[in-house]
Structure 1
Amino acid sequence: MRPPRLALGSPLQLLLLACSFALAGYAGVRLLDGDRFGIVLWFVGAAILHDLVLVPLYGAADQALLRGFEAAGARKWMPYVRVPAALSLLLLLVWFPLITGRVADRYAVATGLSTDGFLARWLLITAALFGGSALLLVLRRRKG
């Protein structure tokens, strides 16, 4: 009987994973500038917030969307809403402080730029994502 093998992935995957951890560590060190406790707290807090709060919210929203599409008898259309919504929410999550203007003063001091255009750009990107998805849906329905 052979011993169980660990599923480690290809060497390229392992290299990319190691690079992503190194980049995240570098970013943490640069952002928190020598405050080791703060760096650990930031990484652990981000992981806990994501895993214990955001993932259940993602799942609940996805299940509600699925039930809504099933009730309407249009489950095959769900990816055309799911993908642009997920990308739009990801952009909102990443750029939230700038979109809401919560860090406008710090951003202006650091870059010399204003945060005024972030909300409008996020809304335009969201509209483009949903518009492109709707166009793709129409083209695929017409083709089929």
Structure 2
Amino acid sequence: MTKFTYILFLSLIFTMFSLDIFASTKECTKQEAIVAEEVIPKISNWIQFKSYYEQYYHCDDGSIAEGFSEVSANLLIHNWNKEAQKLLYLNSSLKEFVIYHIDETLLDTQLKNVKSNLINTCPENLNDFCKKIILNIESYPSYK
């Protein structure tokens, strides 16, 4: 196997696993949805966020998705610290989940604050993460 083929193969495997969280075949039960809608808005730190993400990512739709978006923005604005940076650095699926949830459902002021905070405080090891979010924010037609 050539080096190029090997790298291509590894990239394909990584992509399949990282996208698996968004294409989960696990269904969200009514009880899980009720609990997720209750607990997600109360997330106050990155450890909780990671825990609830792992428990309820398959319920990521409608008001639950909006809750994840709201919490993602608030944590990036108010709780962007070494704990967050370490969790995101070590967990690529969590990183992609956060990137996905900094979306147009957020208020313009939230998007501006997320962008500003990432521009000013992004660590080098998460530079790609920060750039993706910033580029996404700038691409939203509603963003001014």
TM superposition score category, shorter chain reference: under 0.3
Relative contact order, CA 8 A, sep 6+: which one is greater? 2
Larger of the two Rg values belongs to structure: 1
**What is the TM-score normalised by the length of structure 2?**
0.23
When normalised by structure 1's length, the TM-score is 0.23
